[in-house]
Structure 1
């Protein structure tokens, strides 16, 4: 009898737990599919909010936010396009407040906003598309950084890295822009898939790619309980230069030694490249010009240094252009024609040309976007370590 009583009590307990769980769940609304990429390259976006008074769609495939329409279930929707195949950030504006798409797990890693991402595939797979080729690996690493903080890295290793344990590889240090994180070149730039595809096509050498977080000041503040400092207002002002120098110190003194201890690298300047987008491009130029003994390959994406800063801080780059041209196996500068940094970048190119410093350049359509960054990575990766 005791055994039966025990069984009854357990059955009652299970029933109570299940009932409690059931009653504690919030009511479920209708299933929302968003974004829905249609066969004709139009895209349908949906957002569930019966109580909202107004919902708009904002995205880099639009010139301005557009209104969405609510149905009887409280689902707001709109179809746009056709949209040119690429990966785009987008968000909803709900009663004037910007929000992510809760039906979409793909998002843009950023300090300030978390836009969602929509991938519109091409009829022919784009260079960043997931293809049936051998794939490398993405690893998250943590290292001792400045002022006793812990730094974070995303590291790509090429296909075959784990199988051929005797082989060593060159390294490309790749730095994201202002407000981006160490994940942005991976999750938005799809650098791992670009490299997988280029390697499979025999267009680029297998390499390790290290993607660090560029905002050292924010990391220190966050880990020490302070407030994240505002971004510098002047690109070549004292604050911006100090922060760039802090990044340089962290990269040279902490990141590179950690990577070369942890991974099988070819540890010399001829097998180290550095590149970056926007603020990361400025960090790239300052780091490379301050440490010509560390890097032989330099890629600036949508960024520049002013002639005044070049003359003041880096006269050794222009005073002996023959030596600079000998040291730099690749010096790349690229920008979009609609980029807000276009004029400054063109001025930088003209300055280099006048000083007889060799560089390769690419001016594309479009603005200060990650659509352009993917193009620049795809163009420069085949030139590295050749």
Structure 2
């Protein structure tokens, strides 16, 4: 397929990629009609291909000219080389043209897409036999599958029925394409505007969260220690709650002694700026005589898309102290606190539900002491 064009022309709102024999007369038909009723301009190959045009020429151009690409992964999706070529080009456009890709997992599991297992394993095996002279093409297909399976999408089993899933997808596109008032005017921003004469973040949610705007008017939130889920935090022998002169919040949490360390902060993605990459940071200090905190595990996930068990498998090692890769080490902030990157995520249309940032050391049960937690911050990269 052709290289993704550098043009920003967007002729269509959305491009539908699907395996016809699986979904054409059922899910895709209902989704397409719902999108049209929502005044969303959709390219669907059997509806829009002009007579006499080559399929191989027309589809890449339609993909490049679409703001969204909706990929319906069904059991036989990978059996079609046309679908695989479409997907490879869609992922290229995601990288080069910032196209928004929305995967829908129709009676398949996202992990099977990521790893090409179950029915996809058989399809790829057949392709490798048929196209064994074109290994690069097969690898492009596999890479596209693996990458698209990591994107937060819509897993049909998480919804009451197909109609509920379709409604969520259509609402998401309509919110991006047709709502004139942008997220600069929601309640959080209005509250901040009322205090424009102050430079510091404002406290919201009863003092359990702070809010500010960065230089690009993107939203920044910090969840106070009191708003976090800290294991054993109600045990006075394990954690102590106290005021801190440098904290923006009334209280911080001081670790006295635990063996099981687990800290979680959650925020609704609807509160965050749309189409923005965020990083979650633990904001903390260490006492001089801390111990047991050299390394811990950290992970950030969309709660509705990645299970807690899968998230634990994806967790990365970060360092409170000692040596490690630069991106895993803490950095000193302008306010005197340290921050440790827990992970990042892309907040697309703000419809992915809750984001969970989690820090943990629950396997090496050695004693830990000396951590002072101010909060967990969600900040645009």
Give the TM-score normalised by the residue count of structure 2: 0.25
Give the TM-score normalised by the residue count of structure 1: 0.25
> Comparing both chains, which one has the higher relative contact order based on Cα–Cα distances under 8 Å and sequence gaps of 6 or more?
2
**Based on CA coordinates, which of the two structures has the bigger radius of gyration?**
1
